[in-house]
Structure 1
Amino acid sequence: MEPLQDGQTAVIIGGGPGGTACGIALRNLARQMGRNIRIILYDGKAFVGETHYNQCVGVLSPPIDSVLERIGVPFPRHLVQREVKAYILHGERRHIRLTEAGEVSYATRRVQFDAYMLEQAREHGVEIRESRVTDLEFLPDRVNIYAEGSRCQAAVVFGAFGLDPGTTTLLAQSTPYRPPQFLTSLVTKIHPPPDIMPTFGGNIHAFLPRNPRIEFGAITPKGNHVTVNLAGAQVDSRDMDAFLEYPPVRRILHFADREHPLNPAQDFIYYRGRFPISVAKHFYGDRYVCVGDAAGLVRAFKGKGVTSACQTAVWAAETAMRVGVSRHAFHTHYRAACRNILGDLPYGRAMRRLAIWGSRLGLVDTLIALAEEDAHLRHALFNSVSAHRPYREIVAEVTAPPELARLLYRFLRSGLGRHLTSPVSGVK
């Protein structure tokens, strides 16, 4: 199966950043190579006013600027609601502000960012069809794509549909693809009084509660509101209720009153989503390839979600245009391009399990106390929560023999037994 040729069609399923970046990259490469490739993007979402809500928090991590620049898309600074310059990690009783000079992340409204990318795809010549794909038929020489009110044939299908249950099922029925394991996330927004909003600054508040149902939670300031999100294997609305009453959260959101919200039409409305915690099985094959969340190619704790989606989309497009659309082509070139993400996943899983273990045992306060006195540990914590560096580099730095010995000595001196046995008020 040779690279995409003149007169062929490529279909992208999903209109998020991964799908639009893929379409733009394909169009750019086709023009450079002098090939007339028809690119069709199916997107079932509607961007009309505020009717669509994306379950992603909307923090764009570096190097998103350079990733967009690579495909000729200006970074939309007009959509940035806040620059994220620090992360505040909260325990039950302590907290620590983690910050470093250098690159910053950007808090945006994901619905606006997605709409911007979709418009960029249109301007680059990608054909947008606002309908859902209802069936897929893989044949040796083509793929038949059935959608609401239309049908088309393609030489290759790019899966940029995240963890949408319907589309993952469609692809799994037609190919060996199996979607990633995932955590459930809940997201809501709260509008603080105007005089309180500036006090949030450029800080994201991160929490590792002792509640076994919640893996982590966060409060992210935007333009005139804050976004609250949490994640766990089986979290539901009751867990969000409990998280909002969790004492460390209440200390930040002391103004929040669900009985008298500042914006009743938007505040305390919960949205449910998913994000992957493993790599999808067979995320590429003959005439199909998945990118971003659909492939499970994201950092643990969902860091760099948008950035990873765009990066993997560009690599998939380059493989299809330059190498081929067979499983072998994607295996030898696309998978190789993703090697840094894939290689970092075991370290991310280990860090995730360590975070769960520490939070369940009530050791977050101990960790914060150690970090207050240890610059290396503060550096590692910042890079863990900010997604600015790979986990394997963080692990290598923390487990270097001199640093590890110093941390273990301080950890034991801190009174480990007392922290393990003393009662701590978690999220009930």
Structure 2
Amino acid sequence: ESLVQTLAAEGINLPPTVVERGIDSYVLHMDAGNVRIETPLHEMRIAAVHRGAGPKGIKEMKWRSFDGYLLELAVGKGAHLIPGRVDDIGWNDSRPQVKTKDGSPHDYDLLVVAVGVNTGVLKLFEGLGVGYRPPQTTKTYIGELYLGEEMMQRYMGSSIHLFLPKIPRLDFACLIPKGEFATLCLMGQDIDQHLVQSLMDTAEVRECLPANWRMPQDFCHCSPRMNTQGAVQPFADRIVFIGDSGVTRLNKDGIGAAYRTAKAAAVTAIFDGIS
């Protein structure tokens, strides 16, 4: 069962304004040829989304942020949103206390940490005495390539394109078609612009792009970190770490892993307690 179906069973239905493209297959590109792997019954069971508002340079806001949509649902259910940057975490009478940069400290019965691994906030937990140590990570590369909806459909369709080229330092790469942009993902060692360009120059990648398409000089890209090993002690009395900051499925669906961990934590807190 896909994450989209699982969320729908929970009453979380992703609207077309959030899902930029439904994915129905994978295409593995190798120097020996291509292999297409269809989803069962040719259903579009995978949803391509942007976690944030979209890539830098986006001309028109046609789709909404996935994270923003979930946050709106939580607020609609009664959650109180405090738009502030956390700069200190401690204890007050055995309860976790959170202080934001521009606000006063607040005490909570249960602190759920869902901050990923690309943040300095995790360092605040190392001195709490709960035994937590952040996950081990490696640097990756993410780029957003503008093609436009028409070119995207013509050259990439509704498939995630996977690449295993024989390029030193590169382990794996993929192109994920979304609305008007294709998300380029690379995993390897010491990824730099030369390595990215070497991938883009391969015949396997070129066949997924228009013949006259060239990598722009200025485009949205970043080098985030991703997990290679889970955190040490990702839970304690009144504290639980969800998603990449805790335990996730390596090189797989991080959002799905966070959902399953969050649901297990919620069930535990309600039926077994928080300490």
TM over 0.5: yes
What CA distance in whole angstroms lies between the structure 1 residues aligned with 2:189 and 2:108? Answer: 37
What CA distance in whole angstroms lies between the structure 2 residues aligned with 1:294 and 1:76? Answer: 28
Alignment-derived partner of residue 82 in structure 2: 129
TM-score, normalisation: structure 2 = 0.85
CA radius of gyration, larger in: 1
Deviations 1:349-393, CA, capped at 9 Å, x for gaps: xxxxxxxxxxxxxxxxxxxxxxxxxxxxxxxxxxxxxxxxxxxxx
What CA distance in whole angstroms lies between the structure 2 residues aligned with 1:97 and 1:107? Answer: 18
- 1:122 to partner: Cα distance: 1.0
What CA distance in whole angstroms lies between the structure 2 residues aligned with 1:149 and 1:289? Answer: 25
- Name the SS of the counterpart of 1:165 in structure 2: coil
- The list of structure 1 runs, each at least 4 consecutive aligned residues, that deviate by more than 4 angstroms after superposition, is none
What CA distance in whole angstroms lies between the structure 2 residues aligned with 1:194 and 1:154? Answer: 46
Alignment of 1:243 with 2:195, yes or no, is: no
Deviations 1:261-294, CA, capped at 9 Å, x for gaps: 5xx8xx6332221221222100111221111111
- 1:66 to partner: Cα distance: 1.9
- Name the SS of the counterpart of 1:256 in structure 2: coil
- 1:181 to partner: Cα distance: 1.5
Alignment of 1:87 with 2:26, yes or no, is: yes
- Name the SS of the counterpart of 1:177 in structure 2: coil
- 1:233 to partner: Cα distance: 4.4
Alignment of 1:187 with 2:142, yes or no, is: yes
- Name the SS of the counterpart of 2:165 in structure 1: coil
Unpaired stretches in structure 1, ≥5 consecutive residues: 1-60, 327-428
- 1:172 to partner: Cα distance: 2.2
Alignment-derived partner of residue 173 in structure 2: 217
Alignment of 1:118 with 2:71, yes or no, is: yes
8 Å Cα contact 1:67-1:307 kept in structure 2 = no
Alignment-derived partner of residue 254 in structure 2: 305
TM-score, normalisation: structure 1 = 0.56
8 Å Cα contact 2:86-2:98 kept in structure 1 = yes
Alignment-derived partner of residue 3 in structure 2: 63
- 1:161 to partner: Cα distance: 0.5
Distance 1:131 1:242, change over 3 A: farther
8 Å Cα contact 2:142-2:186 kept in structure 1 = yes
What CA distance in whole angstroms lies between the structure 2 residues aligned with 1:240 and 1:283? Answer: 34
Alignment-derived partner of residue 50 in structure 2: 109
What CA distance in whole angstroms lies between the structure 2 residues aligned with 1:325 and 1:114? Answer: 26
Root-mean-square deviation over aligned CA pairs = 2.2
Alignment-derived partner of residue 173 in structure 1: 127
Deviations 1:234-264, CA, capped at 9 Å, x for gaps: 3233332332223321232244213xx5xx8
- Name the SS of the counterpart of 1:129 in structure 2: coil
- 1:324 to partner: Cα distance: 1.6
Distance 1:295 1:257, change over 3 A: same
Identity %: 28
Alignment-derived partner of residue 375 in structure 1: none
8 Å Cα contact 1:183-1:275 kept in structure 2 = yes
- The count of corresponding residues between Structure 1 and Structure 2 is 257
Letter of the aligned partner of 2:265 in structure 1? A
What CA distance in whole angstroms lies between the structure 2 residues aligned with 1:205 and 1:243? Answer: 13
Unpaired stretches in structure 2, ≥5 consecutive residues: 53-64
- Name the SS of the counterpart of 1:196 in structure 2: helix
8 Å Cα contact 1:277-1:296 kept in structure 2 = no
Alignment-derived partner of residue 159 in structure 1: 113
What CA distance in whole angstroms lies between the structure 2 residues aligned with 1:193 and 1:308? Answer: 31
- 1:139 to partner: Cα distance: 5.0
Distance 1:140 1:215, change over 3 A: farther
**Structure ranking higher in helix proportion:** 1
